[in-house]
Amino acid sequence: DTGVSQNPRHKITKRGQNVTFRCDPISEHNRLYWYRQTLGQGPEFLTYFQNEAQLEKSRLLSDRFSAERPKGSFSTLEIQRTEQGDSAMYLCASSGRLAGKNEQFFGPGTRLTVL
Amino acid sequence: DAKTTQPPSMDCAEGRAANLPCNHSTISGNEYVYWYRQIHSQGPQYIIHGLKNNETNEMASLIITEDRKSSTLILPHATLRDTAVYYCIVRVPLTNDYKLSFGAGTTVTVRA
């Protein structure tokens, strides 16, 4: 399968713990996006990378959240000191080299539950 | 960000056409309309997008009104596997790219 992959698919953690999610985009895609989706709502944009550069961050991305894409390939999203309000589906998407010309392809998501 | 308005839910009979409406009255002249769908427990799947002209692909057709204030996604022959949440989205510019501004979507249930 050459689509976007995300790991883990599910994560259960206790409040206050740190968690890290990984996203592997489609191999030739240089743009990578993170979205968050809470129950019954559509996904909300969090942040975006072009190659290794993080070009935009939403106000939803508090100081406890950090995203990286060190070599312009896979990306990680870390949440420090998790809170129950962080429980959500975290979605990763990627798109091709032509800015604004290609649709975003989504991965299956990582479902986070904070107890 | 331009907002979209969709009915919360609709039913459709298997084999019939499903017409999904969307209002985007505040859309600006260079903003595209995208449609995605999300089947339970999966990531959103791209369906189609357009700016001014009607568009058709192997999945669906997109009809955009002349004033661009509304659009309709048409699934020509709905199957049970088309049961999903359908999102009408206006693409919002970012630095050198865009983000997808999702609403709550329409839950479409295709019934046998």
Chain segment A57-94, per-residue pLDDT in tens: 998 888 999 999 998 899 999 999 999 999 999 999 99
Distance, in Å, from the CA atom of A47 to the CA atom of A64, rounded to the nearest integer, reads: 14
pLDDT for the residue numbered A37:
96
What separation in angstroms does the CA of B89 have from each of A5, A97, A108, B27, B103? 23, 21, 19, 10, 7
**What is the per-residue pLDDT for B1?**
61
Residues in A whose CB is inside 8 Å of some CB of B read 4, 31, 33, 35, 40-45, 48, 50, 55-56, 91, 93, 95, 99-100, 103-109
SS3 content of chain A, % helix, strand, coil (to 5): 5, 50, 50
Q: Do B94 and A4 touch (CB under 8 A)?
A: no
Query: What does the pLDDT read at residue A101?
Result: 62
Residues A46-84, buried b or exposed e (16+ Cβ, 10 A)? bbbbbeeebebebeebeeebebebeeeebbebebeebee
Q: What is the pLDDT of residues B49-106, one digit of tens each?
A: 999 989 999 999 999 999 999 999 999 999 999 999 999 998 888 877 888 889 889 9
pLDDT in tens, A6-52: 999 999 999 999 999 999 999 889 999 999 999 989 999 999 999 99
Contact: B44, A44; criterion CB under 8 Å: no
pLDDT in tens, B56-70: 999 999 999 999 999
Q: What pLDDT score was predicted for residue B94?
A: 82
Whole-angstrom CA distances from B35 to A45, A51, B57, B85, B87 are 16, 26, 12, 11, 6
Q: Do B95 and A56 touch (CB under 8 A)?
A: yes
Chain A residues with CB under 8 Å of B104 CB are: 40-42
Amino acid identity of residue A107, one-letter, is G
Q: Scanning the structure block, which residue is given the tokens 């510019």? A: B93
Cα dihedral A55, A97, B4, A42 in deg (nearest 10): -70
